[in-house]
Amino acid sequence: MDFPFQIYSESVEYTEELGRMLASFISEDDALPRFIAMYGDLGVGKTAFVRGFCSKLCPNSTVKSPTFALVNEYKSTAENIKKVCHFDMYRVTDEDDLYSIGYDDYLRDENICIAEWCELIPYALPEERIEVKIEKVDLNNKRRITINLVI
């Protein structure tokens, strides 16, 4: 995958497939960052992308948005990845909220962290990350998905 990568999706299934593709690239290339920062409005497909991502690395997991828990953990079947930690930053109001859940500890382990609503926590993002931006393009289901590498 060359960065930046931009593609259009017209279905939830295709958005999930793009998540699976990114998971494959990350699991095969240890040089890629282990933090994925997701951006996009409510209902654009961020959780669908994460569901696809986790279906590759954590095939027996049921992925749901961690809106109230702030983080859900899914055990990985990949040799080089311990677990996928799925964050929802929508309800994070300040640094205390974020760090009270052990955010720093998740970043230090052999985990992949994928966080929705990263526009709300710019101060807490790792310098090296993959950014996924999902935008509605029209009133139907068409979405523009941009994946970029920040190093």
Helix/strand/coil percentages in the chain, nearest 5: 30, 30, 40
Residue 142 or 110, more confident: 142
pLDDT, position 96: 87
Mean per-residue pLDDT for 17-33?
Answer: 92
Band (11; pLDDT cuts 50, 70, 90) = very high
Looking at residue 66, what is its pLDDT? 67
pLDDT value of residue 93: 82
Q: Is the pLDDT of residue 16 over 90?
A: yes
Instruction: Give the largest CA-CA distance in the chain.
Output: 41
Q: What is the mean pLDDT of residues 41-60?
A: 92
Are 130 and 37 in contact, with CB atoms under 8 Å apart?
A: yes
SS3 2: coil
Give the C-alpha separation, 56 to 85, whole Å.
14
pTM of the predicted model, to two decimals? 0.91
pLDDT in tens, 85-121: 999 998 888 888 888 888 888 888 788 999 999 999 9
Residue 95: per-residue pLDDT: 87
Domain of 18, CATH number, reads 3.40.50.300
The percentage of residues in the chain with a pLDDT greater than 70, rounded to a whole number, is: 97
Number of independent structural domains in the chain: 1
User: Is the pLDDT confidence value at 80 over 80?
Assistant: no
Asked whether residue 67 carries a pLDDT value surpassing 70, the answer given is: no
Q: Which domain holds residue 56?
A: 5-150
Mean pLDDT of 34-54: 94
